[in-house]
């Protein structure tokens, strides 16, 4: 049983590494979009008026929110999987 739990932990570790890489890529996108918005001139930006400006800032905000939500989901997934493993390890120790 202990070998099975060890194998599960290894697979979860690989899964968490892949999810962390995805989150890192999302972070890079959000940072780059924020840098692009920051680089816009204060006067007369060519964004098709106020509607274009609102659309661009809305996209950046959505990207940042999506990134933060992804981090929260990642933490929840890690907590859930580790909770199950600790419970399984506890029942194995009792046997």
Task: Report pLDDT digits (tens) over 3-40.
Answer: 888 888 888 888 888 888 888 888 888 888 778 777 76
Please give the pLDDT value at position 71. Answer: 86
3-state helix, strand, coil in the chain (%, to 5): 85, 0, 15
- For the chain, what is the domain count? 1
The range of the structural domain enclosing residue 64 comes to 2-94
Is the pTM value of this prediction over 0.75?
Answer: no
Task: Report pLDDT digits (tens) over 47-82.
Answer: 677 777 778 778 888 888 888 888 888 888 888 888
Residue 46 has pLDDT above 70, yes or no: no
Collapsed DSSP state (helix, strand, coil) of residue 68: helix
Please give the pLDDT value at position 15. Answer: 85
């Amino acid at each position: 049983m202990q070998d099975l739990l060890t194998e599960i932990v290894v697979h979860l570790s690989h899964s968490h590494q892949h999810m962390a890489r995805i989150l890192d890529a999302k972070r890079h996108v959000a940072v780059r979009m924020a840098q692009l918005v920051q680089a816009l001139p204060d006067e007369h930006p060519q964004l098709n008026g106020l509607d274009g400006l609102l659309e661009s800032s809305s996209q950046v905000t959505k990207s940042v929110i999506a990134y933060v939500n992804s981090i929260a989901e990642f933490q929840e997934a890690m907590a859930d999987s580790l909770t199950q493993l600790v419970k399984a390890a506890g029942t194995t120790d009792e046997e």
